């Protein structure tokens, strides 16, 4: 259908993907498995509140953990902190467990939170491949889960999320623990079976390639709800960083109270938007959210907008498998979009430039 299709031509694809992100994407199920083992030996203290501090590709592991554990009946407050300071803790600092997640170990916001937590007397755990965070944690006798280095942080989701989840199992009830262990094993199996579909099938059979094509030269606006909320953020960030393209995300039902009015905009630019609705299977969505998605689609299409609806593949049953397979699909979509854009998915020059300029003072 597309002559000389870069998506279906491995040698042309690898000429663009010079840093070989493809291998890392294919390795995701393996990273999850390896990461799980790394979280086994950490001892966590008793706690009443959980803070996960991180930025970008590291923080998203915290978002996924939060979405997942909340649905699994974990009732302790759990927040993801993106910034330089922890929220007020009152007199509960000693019962607030703080995870510092930084793949590189050198992200200044996460380092500031780590130090802030130390000053306030919070128990801490670091997850990192090294850098300043590993150094400080060793000096201050804070447990460190050391994960393999040398990857772009956003491709290390498996190594960031799995040990985080595994290390928290002792804080859960036995029945919850067993259910999570089972789901985790099933999820790795599901991702292993999806990997060749996304990596190897030609465009006609490959949902990731087809969706990338639909987003080429467009501005993706990605909507999620409940479990698909952090996935919408992940898709957006992956499209930004891998495809070097603007993308935005929002969440139902909140967007029906503000964002929705922007759909009225009459401008040739509005034709560039493609709305991606990230759905869970109907049996899992609140009935009103199902209705809201249906009406969202109708309102957009009545205004001539393009809408793509994306669901986890049929074979994904458990919550974790649905969460991670839909996120994995987005990783591949952003990868193929990078190929269509003719850009190496790996370098993120502007992120580095920002960090350098900040360091210059
Ligand atoms: C780069 C990426 C970024 C980083 C972020 C924080 O691949 O995804 O969003 O994750 O700049 O850096 P780390 O993860 O090293 O703390």
pLDDT for the residue numbered 291: 97
Query: Which residues make up the CATH 3.40.50.10490 domain(s) of the chain?
Result: 6-18+201-341, 22-172
Average pLDDT over residues 28-37: 98
pLDDT for the residue numbered 293: 98
Spell out the long-range contacts of 263-269 with Cβ–Cβ below 8 A and sequence spacing 24 or more.
263/299, 263/300, 263/303, 263/305, 264/303
CA of 197 to the centre of ligand 1 (A): 27
Neighbours of 248 (CB within 10 A): 15
pLDDT category of residue 126 using cuts at 50, 70 and 90? very high
How large a percentage of the chain has pLDDT more than 70? Answer: 99
Number of helices (H), then strands (E), belonging to the chain: the values are: 13, 9
pLDDT for 341 beyond 60? yes
**Shortest-distance atom of ligand 1 to CA 58:** 14
CATH 3.40.50.10490 fits 22-172, yes or no: yes
Task: Name the more confident of 2 and 218.
Answer: 218
pLDDT for the residue numbered 316: 79
The string of pLDDT tens digits covering residues 84-112 is 999 999 999 999 999 999 999 999 999 99
55 lines ligand 1 (CB under 6 A): yes
Calculate the alpha carbon distances from 12 to 59, 240, 288 in Å.
33, 22, 46
CATH number of 6-18+201-341: 3.40.50.10490
With 0.85 as the threshold, say if the pTM is over it. yes
pLDDT for the residue numbered 1: 56
Element (H, E) at 189: helix 174-200
Give the separation between CA 263 and CA 278, rounded to whole angstroms. 18
351 lines ligand 1 (CB under 6 A): yes
Q: C-alpha 119: how far from its chain's center?
A: 30
pLDDT for the residue numbered 359: 87
Give the separation between CA 140 and CA 102, rounded to whole angstroms. 17
Give the separation between CA 81 and CA 63, rounded to whole angstroms. 10
CA of 38 to the centre of ligand 1 (A): 20
CB 161 within 8 A of CB 64: yes
Active site residues: 241, 257, 355
CA of 43 to the centre of ligand 1 (A): 26
Average pLDDT over residues 195-199: 97
pLDDT for the residue numbered 179: 95
Give the separation between CA 35 and CA 274, rounded to whole angstroms. 35
Going by alpha carbons, the residue nearest to atom 16 of ligand 1 is 102
Please name every residue paired with 51 in a beta bridge, in sequence order, or none if there are none. 79, 98
């Amino acid at each position: 259908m597309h002559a000389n299709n870069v998506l279906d031509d491995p040698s042309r694809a690898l000429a663009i993907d010079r840093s070989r992100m493809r291998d890392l994407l294919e390795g995701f199920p393996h990273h999850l498995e390896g990461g799980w083992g790394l979280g086994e030996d950490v001892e966590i203290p008793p706690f009443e509140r959980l803070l996960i501090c991180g930025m970008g590709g590291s923080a998203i592991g915290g978002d996924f953990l939060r979405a997942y554990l909340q649905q699994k009946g974990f009732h302790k407050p759990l927040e993801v902190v993106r910034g330089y300071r922890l929220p007020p803790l009152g007199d509960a600092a000693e019962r607030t467990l703080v995870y510092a997640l930084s793949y590189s170990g050198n992200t200044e916001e996460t380092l500031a939170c780590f130090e802030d937590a130390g000053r306030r007397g919070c128990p801490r755990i670091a997850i990192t491949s090294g850098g300043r965070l590993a150094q400080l944690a060793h000096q201050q006798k804070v447990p460190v889960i050391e994960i393999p280095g040398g990857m772009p942080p956003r491709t290390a989701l498996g190594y960031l999320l799995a040990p985080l989840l595994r290390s928290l199992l002792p804080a859960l009830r036995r029945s919850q623990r067993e259910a999570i262990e089972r789901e985790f094993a099933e999820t790795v199996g599901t991702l292993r079976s999806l990997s060749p579909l996304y990596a190897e099938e030609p465009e006609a059979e490959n949902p990731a390639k087809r969706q990338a094509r639909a987003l080429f030269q467009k501005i993706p606006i990605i909507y999620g709800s409940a479990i698909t909320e952090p996935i919408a953020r992940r898709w957006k960030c992956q499209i930004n960083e891998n495809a070097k393209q603007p993308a935005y995300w929002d969440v139902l039902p909140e967007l029906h109270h503000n964002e929705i009015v922007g759909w009225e905009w009459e401008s040739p630019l509005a034709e560039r938007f493609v709305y991606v609705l990230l759905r869970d299977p109907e049996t899992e969505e609140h009935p009103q959210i199902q209705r809201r998605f249906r009406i969202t689609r109708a309102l957009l299409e009545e205004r001539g907008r393009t809408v793509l609806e994306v669901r986890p593949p049929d074979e994904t049953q458990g919550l974790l498998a649905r969460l991670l397979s839909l996120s994995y699909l987005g990783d591949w979509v952003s990868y193929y979009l990078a190929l269509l854009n003719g850009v190496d998915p790996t370098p993120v020059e502007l992120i580095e430039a920002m960090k350098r300029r900040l360091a210059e003072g």
